[in-house]
Structure 1
Amino acid sequence: MSILDTAQILDAGLDDWRKLAQALHARFLTRDFSAGLAFVSAIGELAEEANHHPDIVLTYTHVDVKLISHDASGVTERDVDLARGISTLASERGIPADPSAAVVVELALDTADVAAAGPFWAALLTGDARAVDGDDVADPTGRVPLLWFQHTDAHETPRQRFHLDVWVPHDAAEARIAAAVAAGGTVVDAAQAPAFTVLADPEGNRACVCTILER
């Protein structure tokens, strides 16, 4: 099954869901634990019927759901279909979604030698030095953020080599950037916006606000 592009996902009418990085994300405001647990159980039954299983985080006040087709390394029609089904379950139970709450944080490290740096960071973050896939260190259990290596020329420290990629809903990026600027930050580079905008804190440390648009 083929990966859907950004336009196809936006045209799918998934009002409760936002694509961040490689997956669809949604937060449902269940407001109490028992309602959340019942909702998760209903999602489980739906997932079993579809033979396609989301990642779910249950908390006291909300349920976070992530959908991705791991065999395709992206969002496919299976994810869209299951997202629609989960939204229907939520609507039937009077459970609202909060699309603006979706967020994914990734770590980015400038390096001139992925082969040398990769096993160290894989071992440190996941306990397994082999957990390097191309330019990524990914924890299959989801305990730590994905770390990706940004290729650069060799250079001497000190220089900022780590930065955060903060993925937010495409329709929430302007507000998030404005909030960071109001809190003392500056926009360093918006040439690639809305794909990503580079911000800096008052000491010059940088981070990127990322969306799925224009990628």
Structure 2
Amino acid sequence: MLLAMATITVQDVDDAGLADWRLLANGLHARFRTGDMPTGARFVAAVADAAEELDHHPDVDLRPSHVDLALVSHDVGRVTRRDLRLARRVSDIAAGLGLTAQPEVLAQLEVALDTADLAAVGPVWAALLTGDAGALDGDDVVDRRGRVPLLWFQGTDAHETPRQRFHLDVWVPHDVAQERVDAAVAAGATVVDASHAPSFVVLADPEGNRVCVCTALDR
């Protein structure tokens, strides 16, 4: 049981042979190209049967051309080996239906708020975003129903003069992060700090608004 609850890394995903899946900010993610809604519905039904068998359930988003899936063990708030087992089963189902994964298009948006007093501001934002002040999970506000992006509180020193408060974290697969940074730079962004790559790279738009391109590596 302890092994099943162990924290999962990018290397664990690679070692498990899960080429269809990528670790992002909150969970293990995959997209499978279906081409049409009936094929997607058959795929989702088969995934639901497998999830019931394994007693572990993914978040599923069925669209006309594709199906997105996210896996996380909600009882412990992170990806575990239970998620790896279900991910492998889902990939087998997809292969049996002739579906192709598209890991290169995966992304997840996280909003980051600098604060020196998480205990004071965290419950406020949890209540605003989810209607439940108790939705604060550590230093994150997590909407389990997926209605709003993740909100992460970044610890900072107290300061009189306001500095940047909010910024966006764009989580992408580790193997496309540099491509995303290069695309932003080609579009006019400036790299502010790459010293923490591949974990994250800080960029700014031409007006100085900052954003981090983040991956699950080196965390």
Q: In which range does the TM-score fall when normalised by the shorter chain?
A: over 0.9
Moved more, 22-31 or 128-137: 128-137
For residue 119 of structure 1, give the secondary structure of its aligned residue in structure 2.
helix
Alignment of 1:89 with 2:96, yes or no, is no
Q: How far, CA to CA, are the matches of 1:156 and 1:32 in structure 2?
A: 55
Q: Say whether residues 1:75 and 2:79 are aligned partners.
A: yes
144, 161, 166: which one aligns with 2:170: 166
Query: How far, CA to CA, are the matches of 1:85 and 1:181 in structure 2?
Result: 39
Contact 1:199 1:208 (8 Å CA) reproduced? yes
> Runs of 4+ in structure 1 displaced over 6 angstroms?
none
Larger deviation: 36-45 or 70-79? 70-79
CA distance in 1, matches of 2:48, 2:114: 40
**8 Å CA contact retained: 1:3, 1:72:** no
The DSSP-based 3-state class of the residue aligned with 1:198 is strand
Partner of 2:7: 3
Q: Does 1:100 find its partner at 2:104?
A: yes
The one of 5, 13, 25 equivalent to 2:29 is: 25
Query: How far apart are residue 157 of structure 1 and its match?
Result: 5.1
Give the TM-score normalised by the residue count of structure 2. Answer: 0.93
Amino acid at match of 1:152: T
Matched residue type, 1:202:
P
Secondary structure in 2 matching 1:71 = coil
RMSD: 1.3
1:148 aligns with 2:175: no
Moved more, 39-48 or 145-154: 145-154
Calculate percent identity across the aligned residue pairs.
62
Q: Deviation per CA, 1:161-182: give whole Å up to 9, x if none.
A: 1011111001000110011111
Tell me, yes or no, if the aligned pair for 1:139 and 1:145 is still in contact at 8 Å.
yes
1:139 CA drift (Å) = 1.2
One-letter amino acid of the structure 1 residue matched with residue 178 of structure 2: E
Report the number of matched residues.
Answer: 215
The code of the aligned residue for 2:14 comes to L
Asked if the contact 1:20–1:103 (Cα under 8 Å) also holds between the matched residues in 2, the reply is: yes
Alignment of 1:92-131 (within 5 A): 92-131=96-135
TM-score (norm 1): 0.95
Aligned to 2:187: 183
Q: Compare 29-38 and 186-195 and name the one that shifted more.
A: 29-38
1:4 shift after superposition: 2.5
Report the alpha carbon displacement of residue 71 of structure 1 after superposing the two structures with TM: 2.4
Please point out which of 62, 67, 80 is paired with 2:66: 62
Tell me by how many angstroms 1:90 deviates.
0.8
Q: Which blocks of at least 5 consecutive residues in structure 2 are unaligned? A: none
Q: Which moved more, 1:79-88 or 1:191-200?
A: 79-88
* 1:108–1:68 distance in 2 versus 1, CA, 3 Å: same
SS in structure 2 of the partner of residue 63 of structure 1: strand
Q: CA deviation at 1:152?
A: 1.1
Name the CA distance, whole Å, in 2 between partners of 1:66 and 1:136. 18
Which consecutive unaligned segments of at least 5 residues does structure 1 have? Answer: none
